[in-house]
Amino acid sequence: NYSVKYCNQSCRSLDEPDPLCKVQIAPMEGCGCPEGTYLNDEEECVTPDDCPCYYKGKIVQPGNSFQEDKLLW
């Protein structure tokens, strides 16, 4: 692609503010995930349903959950 976006393109950006959105980056040629997919920690393009969740430094893989203070995530 000749206009690769960097802001809000990762799984982490679905749960946390993306710091790259505050940086001015000129559009450049490169590779990115297809529309509707996001880059995970293994550098694979996945659907939002296949993204892990991020909570207070914890990574919860798809299909898993954890409990904190009687709240189920």
For residues 4-18, one letter each, b for 16 or more C-beta atoms within 10 angstroms of the residue's C-beta and e for the rest, the string is eebeebbbbbeeeee
Average of per-residue pLDDT values in the chain: 84
- For residues 30 and 19, give the distance between their C-alpha atoms in angstroms, rounded to a whole number: 20
pLDDT at 40 over 80: yes
| 42-68 pLDDT per residue, tens | 999 999 999 999 888 888 888 887 777
Q: Which H, E and C letters describe 24-61, residue by residue? A: CCCCCCCCCCCCCCEECCCCCEECHHHCCEEECCEEEC
Query: 10 Å Cβ neighbour count for 63?
Result: 8
